């Protein structure tokens, strides 16, 4: 059993499933539907849930980052729980948090193919627009 509020329980559950899937590949497939539907709408906003997104091999390592730093940064910026189980990303949180995390993850993967432009950035409440000199872009983006 995992105790605590829904956010803590889901975060712990996905962290454990990630570790188990590493040791026993394919285990998660047998319980995926049960896990995804558990605790749906179980928060005060009534929008709590878990979304999933499949990765290709090269996308997974890029989205994870060295020692998981990219995953942790995405998770913190979005305010959602982001965990990778096998080749699948699981995003848990309120609808707003999941949507934001999905956008951030999509932008991250899109920049592998070249520069991206985020439309209407000034109207977002979760971003600050900055000018970065061309000779510093590689250093800033890692």
pLDDT over 90 at 138, yes or no: no
Q: Give me the mean pLDDT over the 32-37 stretch.
A: 80
With CA atoms as reference, report the closest residue to 99 among 123, 120, 82: 82
**pTM (2 decimals)?**
0.82
Query: What separation, in Å, do the N-terminal and C-terminal C-alpha atoms of the chain show?
Result: 39
In which element (H, E) is residue 16 found? helix 6-23
The string of pLDDT tens digits covering residues 48-95 is: 889 989 888 888 888 888 888 999 999 999 999 999 998 889 999 999
């Amino acid at each position: 059993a995992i105790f605590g509020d829904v956010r803590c329980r889901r975060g712990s559950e996905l962290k454990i499933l990630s570790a188990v899937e590493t040791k026993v590949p394919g285990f998660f497939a047998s319980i995926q539907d049960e896990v995804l539907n558990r605790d749906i709408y179980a928060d005060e906003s009534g929008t709590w849930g878990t979304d999933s997104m499949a990765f290709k091999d090269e996308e997974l390592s890029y989205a994870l980052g060295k020692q998981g730093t990219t995953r942790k940064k995405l998770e913190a910026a979005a305010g959602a729980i982001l965990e990778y189980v096998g080749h699948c990303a699981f995003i848990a949180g309120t609808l707003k948090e999941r949507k934001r995390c999905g956008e951030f993850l999509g932008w991250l993967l899109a920049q592998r193919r070249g520069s991206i432009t985020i439309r209407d950035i000034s109207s977002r409440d979760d971003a600050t627009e900055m000018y970065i000199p061309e000779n510093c872009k590689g250093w800033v983006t890692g």
